Amino acid sequence: MGTPAFPNLGKHCNVGDCRQLDFLPFTCDRCNQVFCLQHRSYINHRCPNANQKDVTVLICPLCAKGVRLVPDQDPNITWDSHVNTDCDPSNYQKATKKRRCPVPGCKEVLNLSNSIRCRDCSKEHCLKHRFGLDHSCSGPKKTDSGFPFVGLFSKSQKSPQNSTSTSSWWGSGLMNAVSNFRASAESGIQKFSNATTEAIQKAKTGIAESSSTGELVEQCVQCRARFSTVSALIDHVERSHRQTSKPAANRVTIDVCPKCSKGFRDPVALVEHVERDHGGTSLA
C-alpha cells in the first residue's frame, strides 16, 4: 500500500470483490467504511445504514399535510403523534380546492400567471375568458351621466346580434351624438356673438344720442358756464380766466374738484385732472 516515499498513501476499497487501492478514497457517512469511486454510493456497496438518510413523506388524508417518517421509528408511532397533535381537518379544503375559471364548462386552473380580475364583476377568469362578452359579465359599472356618449355604451348591450345591423347602428348612433354635440357648441357660440353685438350696438347708440342732443355736460368752476366738450371748456378757461384771475398777494384761491374734493390752485390743472382721472366729466 502506498509508495516507498509515502507508504501510508491511499486505502483499499472495503468491498470484498474489489479491494482496489484508491489514493483518493471515499468514506461512507453511514457505515464509516472506505470505498473507491465505483462503490462510493449506498446501493453499490450495499450500505446497511442507508435507510437512515432516506426521506419518506406521507400525505395525511384528513388534513392534506405532509408527515415525514422518522428513521428507526415505527411509522405507526409517527402517524399517531401527527393525528393527536398536528392534524387539522379544516385545512383539507384549503389545500385541495383549486381555483378554476367560473365560466361554465371551463376547467382551467387559475394561478398568478393565467388569471385576470374583471373590473366590472370583480371576478377572476382565465385568459381565454378575460373579456366581458366571453364570461357573460353582469354589466359595466355606472358611468358618469355627464359624458356625452353614455347612450352609446348603454344601448350597445341591447343591440341585435346581427353583425350588419350592429355596425349600422353604431355608425348612426355615433353620427347622431357628434351632430348633437356640434349643434350645442354652435348654439353657445351664436348666443355669445349676439350678446356681444347687442352690447356694442347699445354703446354706439348712447354715444350717438349724446352727440346729437348737444347737452352741455361740462361746467366751469369759476363762472359756472357750461360746455358740450372738454376742449371747449379748456379754451374758455385759458381765454377768460388765466389772465383775469390773478389773486392778490395775500390771498390764495383753491379750486375744488366736484367729484373727489381735491384742491387745485390752477383751474387748468383742475380741468386736466378731471379729464385724466374722471373720464372728462366734472358732474358729481
Q: What are phi and psi of 55, to 5 degrees?
A: -120, 115
- Whether 195 has a pLDDT exceeding 60, the answer reads yes
Between 266 and 160, name the one with better pLDDT.
Answer: 266
Mean pLDDT of 157-166: 51
Model confidence, pTM: 0.27
Q: What are phi and psi of 185, to 5 degrees?
A: -65, -45
50-83 pLDDT, tens digit per residue, is 776 677 888 888 888 888 888 778 888 988 998 8
Strand 218-219 with 124-126, pairing = unpaired
Mean pLDDT of 173-193: 78
| Cell 501510508 -> residue | 8
Q: Which of 204-208, 217-221, 267-271 has the highest mean pLDDT?
A: 267-271
| Helix spans in 86-229 (H) | 91-96, 150-156, 163-213
Cα 211 from Cα 207, distance rounded (Å): 6
Between 154 and 38, name the one with better pLDDT.
Answer: 38
Which three three-digit cell numbers place residue 26?
471515499
- Name which of 26-35, 65-74, 213-222 the model is least confident about: 213-222
Strand partners, 249: none
94-146 pLDDT, tens digit per residue, is 777 788 898 998 988 888 888 899 988 888 889 999 898 888 887 665 555 55
226-253 pLDDT, tens digit per residue, is 887 777 878 888 888 765 544 444 555 6
Residues above pLDDT 70, as percent of the chain? 73
Cα 75 from Cα 81, distance rounded (Å): 10
Between 171 and 228, name the one with better pLDDT.
Answer: 228
Question: Tell me, what DSSP letter sits at residue 100?
Answer: B
- Which pLDDT score, from 0 to 100, does residue 151 have? 55
Q: What are phi and psi of 117, to 5 degrees?
A: -90, 130
CA-wise closest residue to 235 among 218, 248, 249, 247: 218
In this prediction, residue 33 has a pLDDT band, given cuts at 50, 70 and 90, of very high
Mean pLDDT of 180-188: 79
In this prediction, residue 283 has a pLDDT band, given cuts at 50, 70 and 90, of low
Mean pLDDT of 252-268: 76
- Neighbouring residues of 106: CB distance < 8 A, sequence distance ≥ 6: 100, 126, 128, 129
